[in-house]
A and B are shown apart, each in its own frame.
Chain A
């Protein structure tokens, strides 16, 4: 016999994600799901953010995307609590992995939790991990047509960080074009052009973090 089902295949992931979201709401933790392609400079950006804001906020990092154990050490060296999870070669983190990681961490008094997703722009967008917002990190060395190539990712991101702007004079990248593509996909997206290496533009990103932390605590 034929049995009608009509059930979303990713419902288990969505359910755990909702549990996580409730938990983070009660604990007033701003949770950001960081996504990027390999080579965007995500670790440097995170390292600088953790260092510059460490007097202001208590921050923690769940790392699903670590190219080398060196990256993990760099993050831990900033003093932030960091936990690495093994994705077993999978192309994304899912909500059960993040739940397991949270159970092993001490998150009381945490203001911001960064979930560093696997370096891949195609599939993480389908898997929510209890985050408040998705943040996509792109570097100007990658080409300004990325938003156009990965529309779902940008349509669902709250923030786009364009890293390595100190290299703009040497690459063929139009900030205007990338920003225009991203805002066409998502009219509410915030765009922060930065250089995590020189520190240029980082203040605007920090100001956004301050506002969102304040909103989460309110």
Chain B
């Protein structure tokens, strides 16, 4: 359950950003998470709800966008996204090389924006 730590980090940043922008009412949060960061959206939603119950942030909407894993083959340099059931070995569709590819995306975990007034 690392979602609880993620939700705590989320709250700290949001409070800072709201103070900086002089807004008091938060409506929604847009989060970008890579496939490899293994964040479970439902678990994060639950953790965020647990941390904000009975606070002014109760009921704020979390919008989560998942970024698929994208790699560059370590042998033939082809850029590809591993298929769903092969996210560990990441077999290259062109030359068959497994593992050790350069990771181009999929490790992201950040807040893109907040909607507030």
Contacts and interface: CB of A to CB of B under 8 A. Distances in A.
Interface of A: 1-13, 89-92, 94, 122-123, 126-127, 148-149, 151-152, 181, 184-185, 187
A123 B39 CA distance: 10
Interface in B8-33: 9-10, 12-14, 17, 21, 23, 31
A126 B37 CA distance: 8
Contacts, number: 84
Q: Is the interface of A mostly helix, strand, loop or mixed?
A: mixed
Q: Is the interface of B mostly helix, strand, loop or mixed?
A: mixed
Closest 5 CB pairs of A and B: A184-B99, A123-B2, A5-B111, A184-B100, A9-B9
Interface residues of B, number: 31
Contacts of B114: 2-3, 5
B6 interface: yes
B12 A10 contact: no
A149 to B, nearest CB: 6
A126 B108 CA distance: 11
Given A8-B110, A184-B98, A151 B1 contact: no
A9 B13 contact: yes
